[in-house]
Amino acid sequence: MVLRFSGLIVGAALVAAALPAPAQPSAADAGAQAFLKRCASCHGRTAAGNPGVYPPLSEVGRHAGSEAGRTYLAAVTATGLSGRIEVGGKAYQGYMPGLRAATRLEERAAILNWLIRHNRSKAPLFTPAELTRREAVLRTPAEVGRARPAK
Ligand code: HEC
């Protein structure tokens, strides 16, 4: 039984080895890595935040499901955010610096896409082209804060 089980595992490994290696890490992996590098210092490694200081990123999936929310997400990451927001029943009035200068467009898309799936949302993922279009809409962190869809 044990032998047969390990045989199955070896078989699966052989099948996997026969497949061509993907040219690049999957978008999800790149996004997770970039999130750890760019966002986790404030929002935590699992995006759970720090109550009252850094919000959890638990509403990214909700935002990704609406037009206004998608523009908001693109702008928070690129332009930054200030003003009072409420996430998970807690208020935040902080300042998030925009990451446009510190990140590449593809990196911002990968991070947001990783967060959407991390939220177990089936909302469409961002393409770099969509992100470019939406990042141009809201110009300042305060404007981004006012544009946050509350529900
Ligand atoms: C220097 C700390 C810091 C870093 C780094 C940071 N954030 Fe933030 N983030 C904040 C703060 C503070 C807020 C809340 C701002 C406020 O209260 O207006 C916030 C808010 C947000 C929100 C709004 C959540 C909501 O439900 O409206 C999103 C989305 C977000 N951050 C995503 C990211 C992503 C993605 C990254 C990495 C690319 C990132 N943040 C990096 C500090 C940070």
Q: Indicate which CATH number applies to the domain containing 93.
A: 1.10.760.10
Rounded to two decimals, what is the model's pTM?
A: 0.85
Q: Look at ligand 1, atom 32, and give the residue with the nearest C-alpha.
A: 77
Query: Ligand 1 site: residues with CB under 6 angstroms?
Result: 38-39, 41-43, 54-55, 57, 59-60, 73, 76-77, 81-83, 85, 87, 92-97, 99, 111, 145, 148
Contact criterion met (CB below 8 Å) for 73 and 63: yes
Compute, in angstroms, the gap from residue 12 CA to the centroid of ligand 1: 41
Residue where the block lists tokens 């206004």: 68
Tens of pLDDT, residues 55-95 = 999 999 999 999 999 999 999 999 999 999 999 999 999 99
Ligand 1 atom closest to Cα of 111? 35
Å from CA of 131 to ligand 1 middle: 17
pLDDT value, residue 121? 97
pLDDT score recorded for residue 13: 47
Is it the case that residue 20 has pLDDT exceeding 60? no
DSSP structure class, residue 51: T
129 CA from centroid of ligand 1 (Å): 22
* Residue 1 counted as domain residue: no
Is the CB of residue 82 less than 8 Å from the CB of residue 141? yes
Domain-located, residue 136: yes
The answer as to whether 4 is a domain residue is: no
Does some domain include residue 49? yes
How many CB atoms sit inside 10 A of residue 75's CB? 26
Specify the residue with its C-alpha closest to ligand 1, atom 18.
82
How far does the centroid of ligand 1 lie from the alpha carbon of residue 110, in Å?
16
Pick 19 or 110 by higher pLDDT: 110
Number of domains in the chain: 1
Q: Which residues constitute the domain of residue 118? A: 26-146
For residue 73, give the ligand 1 atom closest to its CA.
Answer: 29
Is residue 20 in a domain?
A: no
Residue 21 lies in a domain: no
Choose between 20 and 48: higher pLDDT.
48
